[in-house]
A and B are shown apart, each in its own frame.
Chain A
Amino acid sequence: MKTNPLLQIIKYAVLALFTFVFGYPIFLMIVSSFKENAEIFTNPLSLPTSFNLDNYIEVWEVVNFSNYIVNSLIVSSSAVFIVLFVSSLAGYYLSRYRFKWNPYLLGFFMIGLMLPMKLAVIPLYMTMLKLGLVDTLFALIFIYVAGGIPFAVFLFYGFFRTVPRALEDSARLDGCNDFQVYYRIVLPIMKPAISIVGIVNLINVWNDFFYPLIFIRTDSLSTIPLGMLTLFGEYDTQWNLLFAGLTLSSLPMIIAFLFASRQFMDSLTEGAVK
């Protein structure tokens, strides 16, 4: 088709405008994190006059930032790993074995897809209170695992239904038991489904603020997003520290995205479409 030059110019103009709209706030956040507080106040839009990391060092010292990072890492990695493990087993069970209760089990998991879990926070709080898990990282891990299971089970279930059984049958003939079939044959061929579930859950868990807000009381047990609340509560006039904190908390995800932008975008799209 012939391309109309005027139309092409309009297209690039729109794209440039939105690149500015999306890029500038993030650029501003990073640039301001190198400025002194007075400099942000007098020249909010200018580039920093010097490039120094003082703000980062100070943020690291005034709040428990290293704790926040460690807590976020523990919670995210455990939650993602457990979701992958238990949901892939469940999805395999639902697609490969034809028990008469399987349709009811699917319905059972579907309720979790339909209703917002946030609104169940009071009974959840009481359950955690009874189990002695309030103000522990275990509370967060259990919640994120439970919250991730319905989506993951459905995705794995759909995935296994597209994989032919022939491979598994031949492994069974060679004398593998059910778990060996799962571990040696099934796991290796389901990398695409694992990356979708893994990335979707990683982004959700890493960035979540709501559950730490309710369940974590001790500052040293905060995850990064909850730590931001502490920072903004205590240093609300020192914008240099606030910008440095925001940049620091966004950096891990932005770096991961630079290395694997395709996987991130493809996973989230397929996760939503499937």
Chain B
Amino acid sequence: MTKIKRKNRYKKHLVHLFILPAALLYGVFQLYPLISAALNSFYSFNGFERVDFIGFQNFITLFTEKPYKDFFLNAFSHNWIYFFVTVITQLIISLILALIIHSKIKGKEFFKSMFFLPKLLSVIVIGFLFSLILNPTRGALNTLLEAIGLEAFTRPWLGDMSTALLSVIFVDSWASIGFSMLIFLAGLQAIDKEIFEAARIDGANSFTVLFRITIPMIGPALMIMTVLTFIGSFETFEYVFAMQGSSGGPYYSTDVLTTFFYRLAFGTVDGGQAIGLGSAVAVVLFIIIGMATSIILFVFKRKDFER
């Protein structure tokens, strides 16, 4: 009897082997680096070595001293522009496309696959591809504009400070519309058909149905996509890096917080590396993105935590 009991207890302990590998890998290669990155913002650095604990000094330098203050505000404002423009170019367009594909049309699968295709390409491939397409002298876009008589609109899209950031955002949207369209489609398909029947019997026209029923019913999907877009706009790095380099050219007109972070961490702002300041930028981004993510997790996915 006792022997059996002991054997069972032995087996019970073995069960913890189920959680161990995941917890260990995640703990060592993700959680520890995240915590350490946050702590780094309170230290001064010599190369990669922590020197002194200096409290909030890195944050004070970042927010008040030139040139950091100007770089920070410049990049920060670009992230906000990125977000607001993306809401229009990505969310509104993908919602319209989803509504059309959800309605009575032929070839749904073809259009869905077609719009989704760019999502499968690497961000760096897309960035490089568009740097060729948007090239001022040899690029396809300017050639196309000339061919259809719109020479007046040709310009060095990525080299002109007034169009550079917008061009990068357009390319990002080009790649991401398909995915948000699928999310909206999933939301539309989940709406109970009887609601539309009832509305029609009550004599509602399609305009009323769209704004009074369809859009409110996919409200959660709309909200989630808005928050995801917000997070994406503050995490964005690869498109800017691929098309405009790590300094967000021309003249920092496409600089965002992640490229500013990259330069501080790997060393081209004001000479040497500035890991403490870079970590302070990281912490600012942790706070912004962490707050946005908690909205999704706690408002929309609370069911995972209710036992």
B 124-178 contacts with A by CB, 8 A: 124-125, 128-130, 132-133, 138-140, 143-144, 147, 174, 177-178
How far is B107's CA from A25's CA once the two chains are assembled, in angstroms? 21
Please tell me if A56 contacts chain B, counting CB pairs below 8 Å. no
Indicate if A153 sits at the interface (CB-CB under 8 A): yes
| Interchain CB contact (< 8 A) of B297 among A14, A26, A110, A253 | A110
List B contacts of A269 (CB < 8 A): 182-183, 185-186
User: Which residues of chain B come closer than 8 Å to A221, judged between CB atoms?
Assistant: none
Residue of A with least CB distance to B273: A122
Distance (whole angstroms) from the CB of A47 to the closest CB of chain B: 13
Query: Which of B12-20, B68-76, B79-87, B248-256 is the interface stretch?
Result: B12-20
Q: Please, which residues of chain A bring their CB within 8 A of the CB of B32?
A: 123, 127
Name A153's contact: one of B22, B29, B138, B293 (CB within 8 Å): B22
Assess A122 versus B29: contact at CB under 8 Å? Given A44-B140, A239-B138, A249-B125.
no
Interface of A is mostly: helix
Most chain A beta-carbon neighbours within 10 Å: one of B48, B121, B122, B290:
B122
Q: Which A residues from 252 to 274 make CB contacts under 8 A with B?
A: 253-254, 256-257, 261, 264-265, 268-270, 272-273
**Interface flags, A83-101, vs B, CB<8A=1, else 0:** 0011101101110010000
Flag if B19 contacts A105 (CB, 8 Å).
Answer: yes
Residue of B nearest to A203 (CB): B120
Task: Convert A58-93 into 0s and 1s, putting 1 for each residue whose CB lies closer than 8 angstroms to a CB of B.
Answer: 000000000000000000000000100111011011
What is the minimal beta-carbon distance from B293 to any residue of chain A, in angstroms?
A: 4
8 Å CB interface, A187-212 against B = 203, 206-210
- Which residues in A have their C-beta under 8 angstroms from that of B120? 203, 207, 250, 253-254, 256-257, 264
Mark B253-275 against chain A: 1 for CB-CB distance below 8 A, else 0. Answer: 00000100100010000000001
Tell which of B11, B29, B185 touches A143, judged by Cβ atoms closer than 8 Å.
B29
Complex alpha-carbon distance, A92 and B18, angstroms: 8
Chain B residues contacting A122 (CB-CB under 8 Å) are 37, 40, 48, 265, 275, 278-279
Highest count of chain A CB atoms <10 Å: which of B22, B113, B265: B22
CB-CB under 8 A from B305, the residues of chain A are: 103, 106
Chain A CB within 8 A of B25 CB: yes
- Is B105's beta carbon under 8 Å from chain A? yes
CB distance from A272 to the nearest CB of B (A): 6
Interface centre among A242, A249, A256, A269 (most CB of B within 10 A): A269
Q: Which B residues touch A207, using CB under 8 A? A: 120-125
Tell me, yes or no, whether B114 is within 8 Å of chain A by CB.
yes
Whether a CB of chain B sits under 8 angstroms from the CB of A228 is yes
Contact A114 B289 (CB under 8 A): yes
A93 to B307, CA, bound (A): 15
Task: Give the shortest distance, in Å, between B251 (CB) and chain A (any CB).
Answer: 21
Query: What sequence of 0s and 1s flags, for each residue 139-159 of chain A, a beta carbon within 8 Å of any chain B beta carbon?
Result: 000110111011001100110
Flag if A115 contacts B34 (CB, 8 Å). Answer: yes
Report whether A18 and B97 are in contact in the complex, using a CB–CB cutoff of 8 Å: yes
Contacts of B105 in A (CB 8 A): 8, 11-12, 15
Residues of the A chain whose Cβ atoms lie less than 8 Å from the Cβ of B290: 114-115
* B residues near A115, Cβ cutoff 8 Å: 34, 286, 289-290, 293
Q: With A and B bound together, what is the CA distance between A210 and B32 in angstroms? A: 19
Contact across chains for A14 and B96 when beta carbons are under 8 A apart = yes
From A22, A29, A246, B174 is in contact (CB under 8 Å) with A22
Contact A116 B285 (CB under 8 A): yes
How far does the alpha carbon of A149 sit from the alpha carbon of B25 in the complex, in Å?
A: 8
Residues of B within 8 A of A185 (CB): none
Give residues 21-51 of B contacting A (CB, 8 Å). 21-23, 25-34, 36-37, 40, 48
Given A8-B105, A22-B114, A150-B26; 5 other pairs, CB 8 A cutoff:
A26-B117, A44-B139, A97-B15, A113-B297, A124-B33
- 12 A-B pairs (CB sep. < 8 Å): A21-B174, A23-B114, A90-B19, A112-B31, A117-B34, A120-B33, A127-B28, A146-B28, A178-B14, A224-B122, A228-B122, A246-B129
| Interface residues, chain B, with chain A CB atoms under 8 Å away | 11, 14-19, 21-23, 25-34, 36-37, 40, 48, 93, 96-97, 100-101, 103-105, 107, 109, 111-125, 128-130, 132-133, 138-140, 143-144, 147, 174, 177-179, 182-183, 185-186, 200, 206, 221, 224, 228, 231, 235, 237-238, 242, 258, 261, 265, 275, 278-279, 282, 285-286, 289-290, 293-294, 297, 304-305, 307
Give 9 closest A-B pairs by Cβ, nearest first.
A146-B29, A123-B36, A90-B22, A207-B122, A120-B33, A119-B282, A93-B18, A123-B33, A209-B124
